[in-house]
Structure 1
Amino acid sequence: MRRTSPYGSWSSPISAADAAAAGGGAQWLDVVDGEVWWAEARPAEGGRLALVRADGTEMLPPPWNARNRVHEYGGRPWLVVGRSLYFTHWDDQRVYVRDLDTGDVSPVTPEPPSPQGVRFADLRRGTGGEVWAVRETSTGPRPTDVRRDLVAFAYSEIRVLAASHHFLTAPQLSPDGRHAAWLGWEHPSMPWDATELCVAEVRLDGTFGPHRVLAGGDGVSICQVTWESPTTLLMMADPGGWWNLHRVTLEGTSTNLAPVAKELGGAMWKLGPRWFTPLGEGKHAVLDSGRLAVLDEGTGTVTDLAPELTEWAPALAAYDGGVAGIASGPDREHTVVRVDLTSGAVTSLAEGPELPPPAYLPTPEERVFTGPDGERIPAYLYPPANPEFTGPDGELPPYLVHVHGGPTGRSYPVLDLDFAYFTSRGIGVVAVNYGGSTGYGREYRERLREQWGVVDVRDCVAVAQALVAEGIADPARLAIRGGSAGGFTSAAAMTTDRTFAAGTIKYPILDLAGWTAEGGETHDFESRYLDGLVGPLPETVRRYRERSPLTHAGDLAGPVLFLQGLDDQICPPGQADRFVKSLRGKGIPYAYLTFEGEQHGFRRAETIIAALEAELSFYGQVFGFGTPGVPKLDLSR
């Protein structure tokens, strides 16, 4: 028999440590000599990125950490050539090679002149046993003082191949070794705005001839390219407003292999993702808004496969007559799986984290809400779920509106133990894919063009108010939470609207003018992102000031919790410091927790635990329910 207890105060078997243990997971999957390998984040090891094989063998033991900080978000960090494992190491950002027979590790690239001042990513096979990569070099004191070029290295010799654009993906060698192809783009465009597909001849001495542009340009984003034959490439591009798979020849003729109003690609936040992989006989594995599908050139169709897996990472690989990848669903966290192409049967290739009993896990409900102007707002609802408890008669649960990062990103209908930590205690969560989110075509993405801080806030408010109108959520106990761009939207909502009574703001952007190339408070990759999201400078400088949460810090609708990594190079702590300083003595309850050694997003188990427990205690104090077993968060005024 269920016990009656106030929402938010239910006891739960899901601890913050459980959520932290699930906060790692696989990345950068590939097939090596018929075996599946992947990188694996280890929160219990300080967030180290290990490298493992499907048979359980750890191919890159401690202390090696296969991460890099090119574009600060990183890129493909490992590659096997013969019996040599090349990888980027986080501590110094150098490339190392491990002999797979002896286990010996030695550096390939020289020590940089300044700590982490030279970085490498997107490792690819080159000519004659070389490895090709993107090299990023710090050239001055400002975050935007960066030069990038394409390089080749074998052992300790490095040579420059090309530098066609300010931003580049690593070159890929054609099957006959005669050409190299890569993607490039220039500010103010982001890679989901406009990219160019470049091809250059590879000369007999291994150098590149002049490059030419085969596809892309203004208004066209290409997020992945791979060689199909010596004279044709496959690219995921959106000239029709949707990322579709195209074949392009060396003469520049492009053919859409299956024209569909479906998003088969995604935003290239990191260098080296794979949204598609060829399967042979005119078929290709693709991701249809994050779900696995098979594209058939002969019929021009895209057919879903393994529908129970509702999110796949862009790391697909053909394997053993099927597709291997990293997937999750409403009832499972991310894990490495193989899907049979004929039957659709799913086989796990790695053990996922041990999950709590299913009755304590929320089942995401796919919803579409209506905005004030009739626009559709997709979202996923995670209601409270606990078989031991029910709320008092007449009481509605508090709800958290979760805002994804990016803002060119999205949420998926999958199990999330962070969410379950709250829902199993009687707090509902709704994840909103506000205007600007990926997965719904370029037109939906561009709803946010020059409207960041307006459309995203309005959509989140509309969803919260709809839940209240439906009698699902308590109107007096609504909170908003998010990190990075989601932290900006959360802060903007808390300072410009009165719908939310509390906000959790993680590693946020708070001063838009500061978060630009001129302001000097962000990294090079995103230093012109706001040209599209807010407007070009200096023409729209007033807009930057008016939409900055820091400008309206005194207008907070309620208490706020700030969570910030002190080593964050994307959203440095300076902005949160200034916001919090402005709150002192104003009578507004707030808390500010900072974490040494954390970058953008939390990777260490102890940080994830502390952050979740602080967030629960924060809601308990603001919304008036007990949080037994959780340290009390000190709120300042």
Structure 2
Amino acid sequence: MGDIVQTLAYGSWPSPIDASLAAAHDGHPEYVGFVGDEAWWTEPRPTEGGRRTLVRRRADGSEESVLPAPWNVRSRVIEYGGQPWAGTMREDGPLIVFVNFVDQRLYAYEGGEPRPLTPLSLVGGGLRWVDPQLHLERGEVWCVLEEFTGDGPTDVRRVVAAVPLDGSAEQDRDAVRELTDGRHQFVTGPRVSPDGRRAAWLAWDHPRMPWDGTELMLADVAGDGTLHGARSAAGGTDESIAQVDWAADGSLLYSSDRTGWWNLYRDGRPLCRREEEFGGPLWKIGRRWFAPLADGLIAVVHGRGATALGILDPETGEVVDTAGPWTEFASNLAANGSLVLGIAASPRSAYEVVELDARTCRARVIGDAHDDPVDPTYYPEPQIRTFNGPAGREIHAHIYPPHHPACIAPGDELPPYVVWAHGGPTDRAPLVLDLQIAYFTSRGIGVAEVNYGGSTGHGRAYRNRLREQWGVVDVEDCAAVALALADEGTADRDRLAIRGGSAGGWTAATSLTSTGVYACGTILYPILDLAGWSAEGTHDFESQYLETLVGPYAEVPARYAERSPTEHADRITAPFLLLQGLDDVVCPPAQCERFLARMEGRRVPHAYIAFEGEGHGFRRADTMVRVLESELSLYAQVFGLNPPGIPTLELTK
């Protein structure tokens, strides 16, 4: 006999996906690379304070966590970090250089206790490093140095620098060679041509973000290892170059959006002109959407909305994609001979490390393999949807209906739905297995991930919809999807919620002040006061982001107030949950405190939970457990749900 199907109200379905399970599987592998013929990568450890460890895959297929706690392989350059390690295999074993999160020093690991390569600085945020490249012939590691010159978050300079591997700079800042002059506010790590005679990197300046416009810089490498004749070879204020590298034959490869789509170029000529993306937003320094192979072929992560891993023949422009179950590849590739490392996921599997043999186009999982922690019949079954928004514009979304293998709802009941607004906002929500989404859908609560106008993956024109329209287009698009789901009978019009973190927290809060669509909302580490966020010290990377998202403050100061939830707290009537990390330097806690001060006396049910030791984006398992259970309790109280075994969130008025 088959399992008995129960009829239970939405939101009361029993689920094996509890908050602890979802929290333990939060995060995914990143920063793959080859050390000799071995694959290495970083992996999260949510139950170890959210640190990231370095994992090595030996020739026999075994995996080893190389650096024990408390080592944490993660850079803070531009606060979002980037490539934090590099390595090579020597006769006596591996040599790894990596950035340790707590002190941001660069360390060398050679099998024993890591030794520091860079000094500490007590000025501001100190010295930080990212995107290292080993140059053993010079006894150096070349990387990006971010150096604070004062105590303010924008008192910072960035240069390409060379750090000696012998440890002579451990206590001596003057022993670090600066390779560039600091004229650009942002740079990526240099890539040196196969003959060692030229170096290429990316640079950009305020108020541009890297997806607005970057320059591809070229310089000659002298015999003494200095760079000369630095010049702009491509890019500009309205052309975003996302990555640069050298082919084995010495030709220059880069990904540019000059046609409106990030496509690949070789020495300035297009290799595969398509209306899809072969690049993306450079939120982290050292992202790699392509990797040149020894035989001249190029591994590429590409797609429109979703991404695939393929092999591009630069002579014909043809791309042969990898076969396999994956529907999403991260912007993180590494190549060794004909082998390619990537990170891939699907709606049925979390991100895992994949190795592709370019000769056969066959791929296999070699690390952090997805292992179903529960019966996969409890996973959601997502739908890729396109909705019509204001003025008929297309809105891309992923819809995750409530799903349970042994529960259905009464026939006359429509399910509650939560709209998820992704962060960025210049980013997107990938279609991959996320146990936080499954936590809700398996209990009978639908989720709608909206890739609102401004999201990446759909070309520059779609991305530019948000220019000077942040707080308008994103809010309208989320509301349009929510109302469309209600109008078509998919969702209960009276039980709609919105949630988001960071820029998504802004969208959620702004939606509560301006739309009247949602019965409640969850707001995580948000921006709430535009003028305050710019003026009071968010970090340098995003300090002028609003110049394009909202408009030049000097010209439209009223717009900053007009759109800020803090200025319109009196309009909020729906209950909400506000969640904030107290160590957040991107969206500081002061934003939440000012907002809550405006809510005093309003008698709107709400809860505020602040987490010690958490920054921008929560990483600790115990934090994530409390976040998920509190969020579910909010929906239960507002929607009239009865989820079993969930602590009640106390809402204050």
Same fold (TM over 0.5): yes
- Tell me by how many angstroms 1:113 deviates: 2.0
- Tell me by how many angstroms 1:402 deviates: 0.5
Provide Cα deviations, 1:550-585, integer angstroms capped at 9, x if missing partner. Answer: 111111141110111110010111101111222122
In structure 1, C-alpha distance between the alignment counterparts of 2:314 and 2:340, rounded to whole Å: 18
In structure 2, C-alpha distance between the alignment counterparts of 1:123 and 1:319, rounded to whole Å: 17
Decide which of 134, 147, 158 is 1:125's aligned counterpart: 134
Q: Is the CA contact (8 Å cut-off) linking 1:482 and 1:489 kept in structure 2? A: yes
Aligned to 2:272: 258
Provide Cα deviations, 1:341-373, integer angstroms capped at 9, x if missing partner. Answer: 435443343333543212111121111111121
Describe the SS at the equivalent of 1:270: coil
In structure 1, C-alpha distance between the alignment counterparts of 2:145 and 2:334, rounded to whole Å: 25
Describe the SS at the equivalent of 2:176: strand
Greater mean alpha carbon deviation, residues 499-508 or residues 285-294: 285-294
Q: Is the CA contact (8 Å cut-off) linking 2:194 and 2:250 kept in structure 1? A: no
Q: Is the CA contact (8 Å cut-off) linking 2:429 and 2:450 kept in structure 1? A: yes
In structure 1, C-alpha distance between the alignment counterparts of 2:311 and 2:194, rounded to whole Å: 24
What fraction of aligned residue pairs are identical, expressed as a percent? 51
In structure 2, C-alpha distance between the alignment counterparts of 1:209 and 1:41, rounded to whole Å: 40
In structure 1, C-alpha distance between the alignment counterparts of 2:79 and 2:401, rounded to whole Å: 35
The amino acid across from 1:132 in the alignment is W
Describe the SS at the equivalent of 1:437: coil
Aligned to 2:341: 324
The amino acid across from 1:263 in the alignment is E
Q: Is the CA contact (8 Å cut-off) linking 1:22 and 1:353 kept in structure 2? A: no
In structure 2, C-alpha distance between the alignment counterparts of 1:228 and 1:328, rounded to whole Å: 28
The amino acid across from 2:288 in the alignment is R
Aligned to 1:380: 398
In structure 2, C-alpha distance between the alignment counterparts of 1:504 and 1:211, rounded to whole Å: 48
- Tell me by how many angstroms 1:236 deviates: 0.8
Greater mean alpha carbon deviation, residues 487-496 or residues 309-318: 309-318
Q: Is the CA contact (8 Å cut-off) linking 1:450 and 1:535 kept in structure 2? A: yes
In structure 1, C-alpha distance between the alignment counterparts of 2:363 and 2:107, rounded to whole Å: 38
Decide which of 113, 118, 124 is 1:109's aligned counterpart: 118
- Tell me by how many angstroms 1:332 deviates: 0.4
Aligned to 2:549: 533
In structure 1, C-alpha distance between the alignment counterparts of 2:124 and 2:467, rounded to whole Å: 37
Aligned to 1:569: 585
Describe the SS at the equivalent of 2:74: coil
Q: Is the CA contact (8 Å cut-off) linking 2:211 and 2:281 kept in structure 1? A: yes
Provide Cα deviations, 1:116-144, integer angstroms capped at 9, x if missing partner. Answer: 41111111123512101111111222211
In structure 2, C-alpha distance between the alignment counterparts of 1:94 and 1:346, rounded to whole Å: 35
- Tell me by how many angstroms 1:321 deviates: 3.9
Describe the SS at the equivalent of 1:599: coil
- Tell me by how many angstroms 1:202 deviates: 1.4
Decide which of 622, 631, 634 is 1:618's aligned counterpart: 634
Aligned to 1:492: 510
Provide Cα deviations, 1:371-410, integer angstroms capped at 9, x if missing partner. Answer: 1211111111111111121112211000010111100000
In structure 2, C-alpha distance between the alignment counterparts of 1:340 and 1:230, rounded to whole Å: 21
In structure 2, C-alpha distance between the alignment counterparts of 1:202 and 1:361, rounded to whole Å: 53
The amino acid across from 1:90 in the alignment is F
Alignment of 1:497-536 (within 5 A): 497-516=515-534, 519-536=535-552
When residues 541 and 174 of structure 1 are mapped into structure 2, their CA distance, relative to the original with a 3 A threshold, is same
Aligned to 2:69: 62
Greater mean alpha carbon deviation, residues 32-41 or residues 141-150: 141-150
Greater mean alpha carbon deviation, residues 318-327 or residues 238-247: 318-327
Describe the SS at the equivalent of 1:187: coil
In structure 2, C-alpha distance between the alignment counterparts of 1:303 and 1:84, rounded to whole Å: 35
Alignment of 1:254-293 (within 5 A): 254-289=268-303, 290-293=307-310
Alignment of 1:294-443 (within 5 A): 294-306=311-323, 308-318=325-335, 321-341=338-358, 342=360, 344-443=362-461
Describe the SS at the equivalent of 1:446: helix
When residues 307 and 478 of structure 1 are mapped into structure 2, their CA distance, relative to the original with a 3 A threshold, is farther
RMSD (Å) for aligned C-alpha atoms: 1.5
Unaligned residue ranges in structure 2 (runs of 5+): 170-174
- Tell me by how many angstroms 1:312 deviates: 1.2
Aligned to 1:226: 245
Q: Is the CA contact (8 Å cut-off) linking 1:216 and 1:222 kept in structure 2? A: yes
Q: TM-score, normalised by structure 2?
A: 0.94
Alignment of 1:596-635 (within 5 A): 596-635=612-651
In structure 2, C-alpha distance between the alignment counterparts of 1:285 and 1:502, rounded to whole Å: 45
In structure 1, C-alpha distance between the alignment counterparts of 2:362 and 2:573, rounded to whole Å: 50
In structure 1, C-alpha distance between the alignment counterparts of 2:556 and 2:298, rounded to whole Å: 44
The amino acid across from 1:68 in the alignment is S
Q: Is the CA contact (8 Å cut-off) linking 2:195 and 2:250 kept in structure 1? A: no
Describe the SS at the equivalent of 2:592: helix
In structure 1, C-alpha distance between the alignment counterparts of 2:518 and 2:10, rounded to whole Å: 17
1:22 paired with 2:39, answer: no
Q: Is the CA contact (8 Å cut-off) linking 2:123 and 2:151 kept in structure 1? A: no
Q: Is the CA contact (8 Å cut-off) linking 1:377 and 1:459 kept in structure 2? A: yes
In structure 1, C-alpha distance between the alignment counterparts of 2:265 and 2:308, rounded to whole Å: 19
1:145 paired with 2:155, answer: yes
- Tell me by how many angstroms 1:294 deviates: 2.5
When residues 345 and 78 of structure 1 are mapped into structure 2, their CA distance, relative to the original with a 3 A threshold, is closer
Q: Is the CA contact (8 Å cut-off) linking 1:125 and 1:172 kept in structure 2? A: no
In structure 2, C-alpha distance between the alignment counterparts of 1:563 and 1:124, rounded to whole Å: 38
Aligned to 1:251: none
The amino acid across from 2:365 in the alignment is T
In structure 2, C-alpha distance between the alignment counterparts of 1:322 and 1:561, rounded to whole Å: 47
In structure 1, C-alpha distance between the alignment counterparts of 2:227 and 2:271, rounded to whole Å: 30
Q: Is the CA contact (8 Å cut-off) linking 1:181 and 1:198 kept in structure 2? A: yes
1:196 paired with 2:196, answer: no
In structure 1, C-alpha distance between the alignment counterparts of 2:533 and 2:319, rounded to whole Å: 40
In structure 2, C-alpha distance between the alignment counterparts of 1:105 and 1:129, rounded to whole Å: 17
Q: Is the CA contact (8 Å cut-off) linking 2:191 and 2:245 kept in structure 1? A: yes
Aligned to 1:210: 229
Unaligned residue ranges in structure 1 (runs of 5+): 249-253
Q: Is the CA contact (8 Å cut-off) linking 1:176 and 1:230 kept in structure 2? A: no
1:88 paired with 2:106, answer: no
Greater mean alpha carbon deviation, residues 273-282 or residues 331-340: 273-282
In structure 2, C-alpha distance between the alignment counterparts of 1:404 and 1:181, rounded to whole Å: 33
The amino acid across from 1:272 in the alignment is G
- Tell me by how many angstroms 1:306 deviates: 3.0
Q: Is the CA contact (8 Å cut-off) linking 2:11 and 2:445 kept in structure 1? A: yes
Aligned to 1:97: 108
In structure 1, C-alpha distance between the alignment counterparts of 2:442 and 2:248, rounded to whole Å: 52
Provide Cα deviations, 1:163-222, integer angstroms capped at 9, x if missing partner. Answer: 241100111222111121111000111000100011111112212113011111121101
When residues 227 and 299 of structure 1 are mapped into structure 2, their CA distance, relative to the original with a 3 A threshold, is closer
In structure 2, C-alpha distance between the alignment counterparts of 1:237 and 1:298, rounded to whole Å: 19
The amino acid across from 2:316 in the alignment is T
Q: TM-score, normalised by structure 1?
A: 0.96
- Tell me by how many angstroms 1:450 deviates: 0.5
Aligned to 1:74: 81
Aligned to 2:468: 450
